[in-house]
Amino acid sequence: MDRAWGIPRCFGACGGLGYSPGMPCQRHYYGLNHLHFITASTYRRARLFDSDRFRRQFVATLTELRAELSFKIIGYVLPPEHFPALIWPSKRADANRPKPERANGQVHS
């Protein structure tokens, strides 16, 4: 609990540091043969995906990342101010995942 606000906090295995007044902490499992749902919002909910040019560039970038990181795109949609996507990682994508670094530069898993 955050003492100042009385709001539960989520740490580590519960999905990182964050506040969730009405939601319980969720555990996230990342690995092979798991379908992943990802979503992101634009800065200040700007309606970037209303632009044909922006949508084309986003799809081109997503295609490049798919080839580079070797994951399958199951589906995605482009509402005006965010994007949700379903992806399926492969062995190569999991092996190429950057490992977190400690402050002193040592790598750990």
Length of the chain as a residue count: 109
Helix segments in 2-86, DSSP class H: 52-69
- Radius of gyration in angstroms for the set of CA atoms belonging to the chain, rounded to a whole number: 17
pLDDT in tens, 54-63: 999 999 999 9
Which range, 12-16, 26-30, 98-102, has the best average confidence (pLDDT)? 26-30
What does the angle CA 27 – CA 62 – CA 12 come to, to the nearest 5 degrees? 20
Greatest mean pLDDT range, 37-41, 54-58, 68-72, 95-99: 54-58
Segment 30-34 mean pLDDT: 72
Q: What are phi and psi of 64, to 5 degrees?
A: -60, -45
Residue 7 pLDDT exceeds 50 = no
CATH of domain 31-95: 3.30.70.1290
Which residue is associated with the tokens 């580079």?
A: 68
Question: What gap in Å lies between CA 5 and CA 9, rounded to an integer?
Answer: 10
Domains in the chain: boundaries = 1-28, 31-95
Instruction: Locate all alpha helices (DSSP H) within the chain, ordered by sequence.
Output: 52-69, 91-95
